[in-house]
Structure 1
Amino acid sequence: MHHQMPPHPMHHPQHPLLSNQLQPINPETHTSMWLDDPYNVSNAPASQRDSGFNSRPASLRSIDSAVTNTTGPIHHGPTTPAGYEQLPPPLPPDHENMHPQYAEMQPANAPLSRPDPNQVIPELLTLLMEDDPVIVREAITVTQMLVKEGGDARSEVIRNRDLIIALLESFSKDVGDGKIIYALASLFHSLSQQQEGLRAILECSGIPRLIQILDSPDNIVNFVITTLHNFLIVLQEQSANEIDRVNGTQSFIHLLQSANDKLLTLVSDCLLKMTSYNLNSKLYIQNSEECLQRLLHIFDTSKYDKLLLTISKLFPIISSGNEVIKKLFLQYNALSIFEKQIKTTKSIRIRHNCLIALRNISDQATRMRDVDSLIQQLTGIVVTDDQQSVLCSLGILSNLTADNRTNKSLLVKLNGVQGIMQRLMMNADGNDDIIEGALCTLRHVTARHDFENEAREAVRKSYGIGNIIKLLRDKNFKEHWGIIKASVGLIKNLALSPSIIPQLCEQNAVRRLIELLVNVDRERMKLYEENRHQYLHQFDVMIELIVGALNNFAKDLSCKTIIKETNVVAIFVRYSHLPSCSLQQISSNLLKELNIDRDRVQSSDSSSYQQSYNNTLIDSRHNRQ
């Protein structure tokens, strides 16, 4: 078969990728940086110089292409370098003068002697009194040079109070372009880097002037806020009182609308320091809805770690205020914002601050809905080794489960009871705060919801009942009132399950409760005799809890026998004769459970004490979980 030879590939010299001809440079699209080589002395036209994208001359590229490219298309025409570009013309004879980098170094002029500050400062004072803003700005610039020079020059400026006052008065000479204000802000920022400079500004009433220009553009505000921040770092209470006197805290809060993260960091730290050094400012910040709203918005949207850390330090302070501000936290979605930060942040300090703030506001969040993910996250934190996070998480869980059936059931479903019992038994260092938080949460979840039986069984299966009862023996109720109260409440709830009562009795729970009742009752009588009636209410609450727990135990025959054998029946009779109150009712119920007729029992102290006791009793009505 006859085969036709394929046609020879045609050459398209007009295509830039196929042609070796140099393409002319388009000055409108090509950056000049490729042509700014000071060492290139070629005077060839632009169309004949390399564009910079290829480092070798075009003639070399052409030769390589002609020699090595044996399989590509055949190029017609001359193959010498002259066929592609013209040779550059010879260098001009004065080319060295065209490039000063090749010139010999000339000796520098001798520096002028510096003027004496003592001679310059009087002249500066005179110039600052001028009405011409250009002259005033030049005087400020010279003063700035003296300050930056340091040494005696800076010291003379700082010591001259007349000069400082004149500079402060120059703020009013700005003509609206901000140039004088900017120069002064920069100058006072330089002065604030020295403690003596700060004192000079403070003594000359400079802080009010600086506060007045906080509504300036960011380039000025950056200097001013840094200066005020230096004041709060060095002079602390003294400067904080002056800032508060001229309503500087409000000005700081207005600056929270800025979009500059670094500026916001300085402003937030100024607010933080104001809460530490000035009580009025602390109260103002704690009650400022604008401040809280802006801080939460920034905390939710910013990614700048220093800013997030600084703001997180403010939240525990603000959240420790009154109920109104706590409800504002909830209104502005603080639970979700804090939860997100706890989950995503890598900073343990930010996590701690968020947890502390959550613990502070959680007592107002017992009715909040859609907190399932938060409870799940807190349940996971409880079993970690971070003591601070564990402590805060237990406090939050205790509040969220205090009077919320849904949250109680959710915690049980998430195996939170097992985790809390594990934490309670692992608390080797005996941290009382962790013990109390764990006991309070367990007390809440073991009663009054659909999964209360499961919660009580989880406590029993955790083999921790002995540890709980042991607290009644080891802890003095005067020093550990919260722990004892929570322990009694938890034991009372556990006794609601008949299957758990035998295990409680094995650990001498009934006898421990009776011993505690005798001691608390004795202390209460002593308080009454000392006329310290303001403390009687909390003792009534404790006694009511103990009697309520014994009431649950009395449903078991063996426990009923133990109670009758002790010498506390007279106490129950005495309380059953009180005016109508919750303690009187529960004492009467216990006597009925024990099959004891209170009218036939003679109380050892039923006469004069009973009458006066009834007259001074504080009603023990309170909400128990």
Structure 2
Amino acid sequence: VLSVCSSNKPAIVEAGGMQALAMHLGNPSGRLVQNCLWTLRNLSDAATKVEGLEALLQSLVQVLASTDVNIVTCAAGILSNLTCNNQRNKVTVCQAGGVDALVRTVVSAGDREEITEPAVCALRHLTSRHVESEMAQNAVRLHYGLPVIVKLLQPPSRWPLVKAVVGLVRNLALCPANYAPLREHGAVHHLVRLLMRAFNDTQRQRSSSGGGTAGGAYADGVRMEEIVEGAVGALHILARESLNRQLIRQQNVIPIFVQLLFNEIENIQRVAAGVLCELAVEKEGAEMIEAEGATAPLTELLHSRNEGCYSSNYIP
């Protein structure tokens, strides 16, 4: 009960509560383990900067193999929280076999989003911004995670899960060895479909609010602008490869990228400019961009920004 209170959380964490609870995760009593995990999950969002959690993280990776849905749900949620913007924890989880364990968890969970969403979020964290991230990007493919991850971009996945999967796909695309399998499993097609749907939702919302922003279009608590930014960001990275560029050109999505250059959200402008720059590498892409009248605004936007700001810094 104390672990739910926002003022108690930091005090419990500071007093070594996370480490103390971790000591009981190997207990034969499933009920005790479950209670410890619930408490750890409550505390974990206040423990993202705590050091010395290596034993806990290793135990959580092992606990993912449990056949108890509640235990797996808690363990995935704790791993998601503790790997958010924490390089040390990301490395520890990777070295403990966490990528393999999380991929197996996602595969086994099927359509149970209470498991898939935190597991995908943890994988998203592990595949970005730490010394083992490239290994993690490769490991997802080597452990046969790409087909099931791309499948989660489709219905019946709800928007919070879709948002997490889009971010994970973007990170996986940073690894050139993932270009072909992501394409073969339909990642480009699904990202374009999501982009079009989210973009149309934002346009409808804008017209119904008389052209103002009015807080944006929401679905299941997710802003459609976040889906737009995420999908374009992922397509930007995928567009580094020529066959992906060819596929994107065929999807009739360049007019949307061009419209997004004028979006009021700077990050959306940035990723739209990034993907258009990649598409302009080939003559066909450059001609399509020129036909949309976007060459001048794109050039102007690029010149008005500092060099290197189109790296699509999306997802922690």
Q: In which range does the TM-score fall when normalised by the shorter chain? A: 0.7 to 0.9
Q: Is the 8 A contact 1:575 1:584 kept in 2?
A: yes
Pairing 1:443–2:127 present: no
Aligned to 2:54: 372
- In the TM superposition, residue 458 of structure 1 has moved relative to its aligned partner by 1.2
- In the TM superposition, residue 580 of structure 1 has moved relative to its aligned partner by 6.3
What TM-score, normalized by structure 1, do the two folds share?
0.44
- Name structure 1 gaps, 5 residues minimum: 1-313, 604-620
Amino acid aligned to 2:21: F
Q: Is the 8 A contact 1:547 1:586 kept in 2?
A: yes
Pairing 1:413–2:95 present: yes
Distance (Å, rounded) in 1 between the aligned partners of 2:145 and 2:264: 39
Encode CA deviations 1:359-399: one digit per residue, 9 max, x unaligned.
12211211110000000110100011121111101001011
Distance (Å, rounded) in 2 between the aligned partners of 1:356 and 1:622: 33
Q: Where in structure 2 are the equivalents of 1:112-123 lying within 5 Å?
A: none
Aligned to 1:590: 275
Aligned to 1:578: 263
Aligned to 1:456: 137
Q: Where in structure 2 are the equivalents of 1:154-173 lying within 5 Å?
A: none
Amino acid aligned to 2:25: I
Amino acid aligned to 1:470: K
Pairing 1:565–2:246 present: no
User: Which residue of the other structure, out of 321, 331, 334, is the alignment partner of 2:5?
Assistant: 321
Pairing 1:516–2:170 present: no
Amino acid aligned to 2:292: V
Pairing 1:396–2:92 present: no
Distance of aligned partners of 1:560 and 1:448 in 2 relative to their CA distance in 1, 3 Å threshold: same
- In the TM superposition, residue 530 of structure 1 has moved relative to its aligned partner by 3.2
Encode CA deviations 1:59-113: one digit per residue, 9 max, x unaligned.
xxxxxxxxxxxxxxxxxxxxxxxxxxxxxxxxxxxxxxxxxxxxxxxxxxxxxxx
Distance (Å, rounded) in 2 between the aligned partners of 1:474 and 1:356: 29
- In the TM superposition, residue 348 of structure 1 has moved relative to its aligned partner by 2.6
Q: Is the 8 A contact 1:465 1:504 kept in 2?
A: yes
Q: Is the 8 A contact 1:551 1:590 kept in 2?
A: yes
- In the TM superposition, residue 579 of structure 1 has moved relative to its aligned partner by 4.1
Q: Is the 8 A contact 2:79 2:122 kept in 1?
A: yes
Amino acid aligned to 2:236: N
Q: Give RMSD over aligned pairs.
A: 2.2
Aligned to 1:340: 23
- Between the two proteins, the alignment pairs up a number of residues equal to 286
Aligned to 1:548: 233
Aligned to 1:467: 148
Distance (Å, rounded) in 2 between the aligned partners of 1:461 and 1:500: 10
Pairing 1:624–2:315 present: yes
- In the TM superposition, residue 475 of structure 1 has moved relative to its aligned partner by 2.6
- In the TM superposition, residue 400 of structure 1 has moved relative to its aligned partner by 0.8
Distance (Å, rounded) in 1 between the aligned partners of 2:265 and 2:166: 24
Distance (Å, rounded) in 1 between the aligned partners of 2:315 and 2:131: 17
- In the TM superposition, residue 602 of structure 1 has moved relative to its aligned partner by 4.9
Aligned to 2:309: none
User: Which residue of the other structure, out of 429, 434, 451, is the alignment partner of 2:115?
Assistant: 434
Amino acid aligned to 1:374: L
Q: Is the 8 A contact 2:64 2:101 kept in 1?
A: yes
Encode CA deviations 1:176-222: one digit per residue, 9 max, x unaligned.
xxxxxxxxxxxxxxxxxxxxxxxxxxxxxxxxxxxxxxxxxxxxxxx
Q: Where in structure 2 are the equivalents of 1:106-505 lying within 5 Å?
A: 314=1, 318-322=2-6, 324-344=7-27, 346-428=28-110, 430-476=111-157, 480-505=158-183
Amino acid aligned to 1:332: A
Q: Is the 8 A contact 2:167 2:314 kept in 1?
A: no
Encode CA deviations 1:325-361: one digit per residue, 9 max, x unaligned.
32122122210221123334x4433322221121122
- In the TM superposition, residue 453 of structure 1 has moved relative to its aligned partner by 1.4
Secondary structure of 2:26's counterpart equals helix
Distance (Å, rounded) in 2 between the aligned partners of 1:461 and 1:505: 16
- In the TM superposition, residue 457 of structure 1 has moved relative to its aligned partner by 1.4
Pairing 1:601–2:292 present: yes
Distance of aligned partners of 1:427 and 1:340 in 2 relative to their CA distance in 1, 3 Å threshold: same
Distance (Å, rounded) in 2 between the aligned partners of 1:370 and 1:388: 26
Q: Is the 8 A contact 1:520 1:539 kept in 2?
A: yes
Distance of aligned partners of 1:586 and 1:622 in 2 relative to their CA distance in 1, 3 Å threshold: closer
Where relative contact order (Cα < 8 A, 6+ residues apart) is larger, the structure is 2
- In the TM superposition, residue 320 of structure 1 has moved relative to its aligned partner by 2.6
Aligned to 1:252: none
What TM-score, normalized by structure 2, do the two folds share?
0.84
Amino acid aligned to 1:561: Q
